[in-house]
Each structure stands twice: as C-alpha cells, then as structure tokens.
Amino acid sequence: MSTTAAPPGLGRRVLPTLNEDGTRRWIRPKPSHGAWWRRRQTVAYLLMAIFFAAPHIRVFGKPVFLMDLPRRQFTLMGYTFLPTDTLLFMFTLASGVIGIFLITALWGRAWCGWACPQTVYLEFLFRPIGRWFDGGYTQSRALDKQGAWFTPRRLGKYITFFLLALFVSHTLLAFFVGTDQLYSWMLHSPAAHPSAFFFVVLFTGVVWFNFTYFREQTCLIVCPYGRWQSALIDRQSLIVAYDYNRGEPREHATKTRDPNAGDCIDCNACVQTCPTGIDIRNGLQMECVHCTQCIDACDDIMTKVGKPTGLIRYSSQDALAGKPRTLLRLRTVLYPLVLCILLGGLGAAMFFKEPADLTVLRGLDGPFAIEADGRVSNQIRVKITNRRSADMAYSIVLEGLTGAGVSSDDASVVAPENPLRVRGGDTRATSVFVLLPARAFTNGERFLTITVSDERGYNESVTYRLLGPTNGTSGDTP
C-alpha cells in the first residue's frame, strides 16, 4: 500500500494505524450519515436492545439464553442443553459456524459490518458519545494534534465509557448466572461472591480498554476473521468495492479537469470516513470490515458533483471485471446442504429426546458380595437427569427377580430412596440393592429389567445383568 499524507506532527502513514516513526495513528473517522448508515444504525440499536433485554426474557419459564457454567448447563430459547447433550451442542455449534460461512460466501463480511459486537458498540455507542464529548470530528482531531488526552471533556468521556463498560459487564454476567442471582449479588458485599466480583472488575476493564484505547486494533490485530476471508469468499461474493473501471484515472474536480478522467475526484472522503483507516480504492483488503461508510461518503460526493452514485458499492470482483453474477457455485451449494443436514439432525435429536436421562451403573465396591445369610448382593446405581423445568419424582421398579426356582420370599430389594425426587434441570443418583440366593444365577449372571417412570408419562426401561457365583456356589467370590 502506498503511503499517504498524515496530519502535521503525526508523521507519514505506512499502515492504516501506524505512522512511519512507529507511533500510533489515531483514527477519528468522519461519520457519513447516508442511507447505508441509517440501515446499519437500525440493526445496531435492535441488536443492542436484544442484548440488554435478553437476560430478562423467559421462554417456557426459562431464560432465552443462559450459559450456566457451575451447573454445566446451556439454555437456548427455552431448551436446556445438559452435560449429556454433547451431540445436540455439537449440532448447534456447527450450524452456527456453517451459517457464518454461508453468509460470508454470499455477502462477504456482513457479520463484521452489521452484527459483530465490536462494530455495533464502537460505531453506534462509544464513538458517537466520544465525538459529543470532544466537540465533533474536527475538534477531536485538533485535540489529538495538541496531545490533549486529559482535558476535562475527555476525562468526562472516559468516566462515561467506564459506566457503559460496567453496565455491559453486568449484563454479560447475567447470561452466565441469571438475573435473579445477579440481583442478589448486587445487593450484597463483594466479599460474599469474590469470583463474580472479580469477573465484573476484569471484564469492565477489558471493555473500557477496548472501546477507549484499543478500538479498531481488535479487528486488525486480534480478530482472525479478516485473515480467513480469502478462504471464505470467492470472486462472486458480494463485497464493498470501488469501481476502478469507472473511477480511474482520478483527477481533482477543477475547471481544467480532463473530460476523459474517471468519476473519482480524489477527494479522500472515503478514506476520512473509514473506521479502520484504509483506502477502499486499493482493492479488497484484510482491514475492510464492510461497514459501508465509504459508500455513503462517496454517494454524497457524487451527488454534489453531478455524477451517478455507486462508484463505491456492494459488488463482486467478477462483476467489476464485467463477468456475470452466478449464485450457484460450489460453496453456495455445499454450505446450505451441510447446514440443512446439521439443522435436520438437531431437530431430530431434540424431537426424539426423552424428558429425562437414565443411566444405570454397577456398584463401586465390586461386582457382588455374599451376605451373612448366603444371599448374593448386587448394588445398582441409578442416575437420573430431569430435563423438565419442574421438580419430578421418579419411581424405580425391578422386574425379573422371581421365577426359575426363585420365589418372592427369596428375593429382596432395598431402595433407600424410591421414588427419587430430582429438581428441574438437575441430576441425582441413588443406589438400589438386590439380594438373591446363589441358585438364582446361571453361569454367574441373571438378567432383570429396570423401569423408571414419573407421573407425567415418562417411562424408560433398561436390561441389567446381575453378577453372582458361577454354578450357584457361594464360594465363588471375587
């Protein structure tokens, strides 16, 4: 990229945010309030409203989104993913990733310019407030030239940014612990919940540092998405692009302007408004987040000089080269196909999922034990995960203990907790002890059926293999 002139005292520009002498080039983009800006503003405020309201919204009595790390549960749109839902979580996560791939293949970096939290909050919350405190675009640049970083107005800006960061941090914490827990913590001393207090302090500092100082560096240095775009898009993908065929050669708008010159009057309005400091006329660049600010700025200039708008517009590399647009291509067919498979698998897995998870395990102290009366004891551990939001009581019934020479007087079942009560969304386990005479076992084993049910229609049965002495002799202990 060629170097361009920078404001006096700041050195020449060698990178979008770096001067030739190695100092930070502070970007103060001049806002262009055109049609695309208004569309993005509507989307941004809607997304912010959803973010701040989501912790308070309930679907089927559950938060619309809750990632409960202590309980290892994830709730989305009223459905709770439990630790046993690895398959469901994999389908959901993979669907989100493929969905972003599909959006990028069709519309380029639409996520970065329209929905990424970094762009949304920086361009439509923090930067507008910062410009108001600094006195506007021109005064902001003047303060930079003077090195006036701690004027009363800028100190007020930093304090306001801190309060906003604090609000964002508490809202984010609500997505992990729920609003009820958050309100309880806010009313008590931080000493009662040091981990949560430390998280809020840490994240508030990160948010404040990001939107006060780091800003566009997050997109240019930290986020890998721009570096992935070469693999995620092709020459048919929509991008924010400069029409070089129409715009070149550039020439300033003067009375002696060459009539054969291109439409670009080299006013640099597109550069002044870019939030990452690039020149869109240099072609597709990693730093471009497709915010469309250059489109609004250029359209405004074209209107003023009596030229058609669209010198900078949403287009594709092939369209700029005069080639026809083709929607059906490998990635636009493959991505939707994979996405449909994943969503179909997720839907099927959720539809056929039981309202409870039943796991039957063997006792920890050994396969079996011989009691004083000669009977064989098997410990069975029954673990139940209640997927419902309401508390449930689960009855445990064992079938197949009698018969084949075993009467009801010979068999005993000891269940300290039956029915087993499990809170909504929780997991509990209990032990069931089965005592049978040694003759009940054939070749050291006997099969029975364990059935677990609740009062709301859940009923699940599993076959379990009891272990005992071989050939019915009580001396075959482990």
Fold of 356-472: Immunoglobulin-like (2.60.40)
Quick check: 31 and 37 in contact, CB under 8 A?
A: yes
pTM above 0.75, yes or no: yes
Instruction: Give pLDDT, residue 72.
Output: 73
Q: What is the pLDDT along the chain (478 residues), one digit of tens a residue?
A: 333 433 333 345 567 787 777 778 888 999 999 999 999 999 999 999 999 999 999 887 788 888 887 777 788 877 777 777 778 888 888 998 899 889 888 888 889 999 999 999 999 999 999 999 988 888 888 887 777 788 888 999 999 999 999 999 999 999 988 888 899 889 989 998 898 899 899 999 999 999 999 999 999 888 888 788 767 888 999 999 999 999 999 999 888 889 889 999 999 999 999 999 999 999 988 899 999 999 999 999 999 999 999 999 999 999 999 998 888 888 889 999 999 999 998 888 877 778 888 899 998 888 899 998 889 999 999 999 888 878 999 999 999 888 877 888 888 999 989 899 998 878 899 999 999 999 889 889 999 999 999 988 899 999 999 999 886 444 333 3
| Residue 366, phi-psi category: left (phi > 0), alpha (psi -120 to 50), beta (remainder) | left
Torsion angles phi and psi, residue 40, rounded to 5: -65, -35
Quick check: 276 and 220 in contact, CB under 8 A?
A: yes
Instruction: Give pLDDT, residue 12.
Output: 53
Instruction: Give pLDDT, residue 89.
Output: 80
Distances (CA, A) of 339 to 112, 236, 332: 21, 20, 11
Q: Which of 25, 3, 34, 10 is nearest to 300 (CA)?
A: 34
Distance CA 182, CA 172 (A): 10
Q: Is 364 helix (H, G, I), strand (E, B) or coil?
A: coil
Quick check: 257 and 217 in contact, CB under 8 A?
A: no
Instruction: Give pLDDT, residue 447.
Output: 93
Domain map (residue ranges) of the chain = 31-84+116-231, 234-320, 356-472
Instruction: Give pLDDT, residue 22.
Output: 76
Distance CA 376, CA 477 (A): 10
Instruction: Give pLDDT, residue 9.
Output: 36
Q: What is the pLDDT of residues 23-61, one digit of tens each?
A: 788 889 999 999 999 999 999 999 999 999 999 998 877
DSSP string, 206-226: HHHHIIIIITTHIIIII--HH
Q: Which of 437, 331, 423, 380 is nearest to 80 (CA)?
A: 423
Instruction: Give pLDDT, residue 4.
Output: 40
